[in-house]
Amino acid sequence: MAAEWSIQQLAAVARTTSRTLRHYGELGLLPPSRIGSNGYRYYDQESLVRLQRILLLRELGLGLPAIAEVLAGQKDTAAALRTHLELLKNEQDRIARQIASVQTTLRKTEAGAELMADEVFDGFDHARYKDEVIERWGKQAWDSGNQWWNAMSDAEKKAFQQVHLDIAADYGRAHAAGLPVDSDEVQAIVQRHHDWLGASPSGGPVTAQYFNGLGDMYVADPRFAKNYDKHGDGTAEYVRDAIRVFSEVRL
């Protein structure tokens, strides 16, 4: 009998959730290879490859409707995987250059040696983010956000800030209670978080890429992490993971 995986097993090895896989199935992105007499979903090797392609496309920032179009248009799985592989190798090379650059900077700094600009910034290709930064946080986005904020009364500003404080507190309580990040209770908090972000003129819709980026920033940047992780208990990571589930399933 050919190898196959239950939905729980596939979710575990792919480091996602059964809920996400079921949603992919409902959208036609990842139908099970068979459904057992017990109603359980099972997936074969072709399903594994398809899920890998979905996850790779998610890493590239594509939304689920766009991924559906890509999968429908790329019938040659091997050719699609070769394209993915080339993209990953390019990213691997860029990260390797960044690592080497930081190692050189650290070594020279500790030795008191002179730094060379081309060594310090090798691999840091900031220009590739230019369009995205301008689109999201350019002058027009700043102006609209600033005007929106200044037009609010003090009471309205406090109310807006209080909504986020309540969301952060609910994240903390859910984490302390041990609720899974993909539970309905936690995902309802993330929905409020998403709606709160969408209430301000951020320069565009709160996309999966944007929302996930904020989640990563909550963990990586202490200035933002403290909004959720005041006691170093891992709540920021919990929020990030909950956001990722929400983005996979609903965005």
Q: Is residue 67 part of a domain?
A: yes
Q: pLDDT tens digits for 166-220?
A: 888 888 889 888 999 999 999 999 999 999 888 876 545 788 888 888 888 778 7
Q: Which phi and psi angles does 178 have, rounded to 5°?
A: 75, 25
Does 114 share its domain with 56?
no
| Residue 131 placed within a domain | no
C-alpha separations of 198 from 182, 188, 206, 238 in Å: 21, 15, 6, 21
Share of the chain above pLDDT 70, in %: 73
Q: What pLDDT is recorded for position 231?
A: 59
* Band of pLDDT at residue 73, cut at 50, 70 and 90: confident
In this structure, are 157 and 92 located in the same domain? no
Phi, psi (rounded to 5 degrees) for 58 = -65, -40
Residue 67 CA to residue 73 CA, distance in Å, equals: 10
pLDDT (average), residues 85-104 = 71
- AA letter at 40: Y
Q: Are residues 58 and 81 both part of a single domain? A: no
Identify whether the C-beta of residue 182 lies closer than 8 Å to the C-beta of residue 19. yes
Q: What is the pLDDT of residue 126?
A: 41
User: Based on the domain organization, do 151 and 234 belong to the same domain?
Assistant: yes
d(CA 89, CA 86): 5
Looking up residue 237, the CATH number of its domain turns out to be 1.10.490.50
Mean pLDDT (whole number) for 233-246 = 90
Residue 133 lies in a domain: no
**More confident site: 91 or 153:** 153
Q: Using the predicted structure, report yes or no on whether residue 245 has a pLDDT greater than 90.
A: yes
138 falls within a domain = no
pLDDT single digits (tens) 117-154: 555 445 555 434 434 333 444 555 556 665 766 777 87
Which residues, 6 or more positions from 90, have their beta carbon under 8 angstroms from its beta carbon? none
Which tops the pLDDT comparison, 83 or 48? Answer: 48
Residue 82 and residue 67 in one domain: no
Q: Over 70: is that where the pLDDT of 11 sits? A: yes
Residue 155 domain-assigned (yes or no): yes
- My answer on whether 97 and 190 are in the same domain is no
Residue 136: the pLDDT is 43
Give the domain extent around 89.
Answer: 77-124
Query: Does residue 225 form part of some domain?
Result: yes
Q: What's the pLDDT score for residue 13?
A: 87
pLDDT of residue 141: 52
Per the structure, the count of domains in the chain is: 3
Say yes or no: 243 and 150 in one domain. Answer: yes
